[in-house]
Amino acid sequence: MIFSILTKQFLKQHCKKLKLYSTPYLNDVLYLHFKGIMKIENLEEYTGLRCLWLETNGIQVIENLDNQKELRCLYLQQNLIEKIENLEPLQQLDTLNVCNNRLSKIENLACCPVLHTLQISHNYLKTRDDIEELAQCDNLGVLDLSHNKIDDPEILETLKQMKNLRVLTLMGNPFIKKVKNYRKTFIANLKELTYLDDRPVFPKDRACIDAWFVGGPEAEKAERERWVSRERQKLQESVDGE
């Protein structure tokens, strides 16, 4: 039998220690990271939670969150989770962090209609099929897939189906070496992207890359020169106006 850490008595004492509410449903945040927790349980009375921290424990299964219908943020990084599951009750979930777990597939996320941020770095994703669920996550705008095992450049075809993808992190995956002009190719295909890996996508970058994608290096050079010309003209107009 696994010894239970998350008893009702523990939760009550923990809230008192952190100067949270003694009445469970009044708490909108609960910090339970670094507690040696093996199982999510006994949270039935904490119905008002909007943010739940369960980082760095020994949790293997996402479960027993049926009463957390107000939950916006769920932090489960650095656990032992092998499957994304049992999130159906979390219809208001905005942010999910499952970095540093044992996940080999993205699944069961389409049931969270307003999910905006998914952090799933340092797991075991490998193929396009492993991330195909993302195509059904219409509101997902921030996605961190860095430091997985992805070696399939075809993941781009799935990412292209994500209507609102703005921020994407892919560094640390082996497929990047297989894609010629990786950064340009992904920015050109992902039209709403404003940030890729460790750098933003500025309007000038976007314009030049789009030109490159259509007409090659010469078109990119011409577009860059147009931007330089416009910038000089604005500077001159500013000087003349003083």
List C-alpha distances in Å: 154 to 81, 128, 170, 181: 26, 6, 13, 15
Which stretches of the chain are assigned E, i.e. beta strand?
29-31, 51-53, 73-75, 95-97, 117-119, 142-144, 167-169, 195-196, 199-200
5 HSE (CA, 13 A, CB side) = 14
pLDDT tens, position by position, 194-237? 999 999 999 999 999 999 999 999 999 999 999 988 888 887 77
pLDDT tens, position by position, 35-49? 999 999 999 999 999
pLDDT tens, position by position, 80-118? 999 999 999 999 999 999 999 999 999 999 999 999 999
Does residue 3 form part of some domain?
Answer: no
pLDDT at 73 (0 to 100): 98
* pLDDT tier at 241, thresholds 50, 70, 90: low
Does residue 1 form part of some domain?
Answer: no
**Mean of pLDDT over the chain:** 94
- CATH number of residue 140's parent domain: 3.80.10.10
Contact assessment for residue 107 and residue 135, using Cβ atoms and an 8 Å cutoff: no
Closest residue by Cα to residue 54 from 23, 88, 8, 11: 11
Domain extent for 201: 8-240
pLDDT at 174 (0 to 100): 97
Q: What angle do CA 30, 31, 37 make, to 5 degrees?
A: 110
Does residue 116 form part of some domain?
Answer: yes
Q: How many domains does the chain have?
A: 1
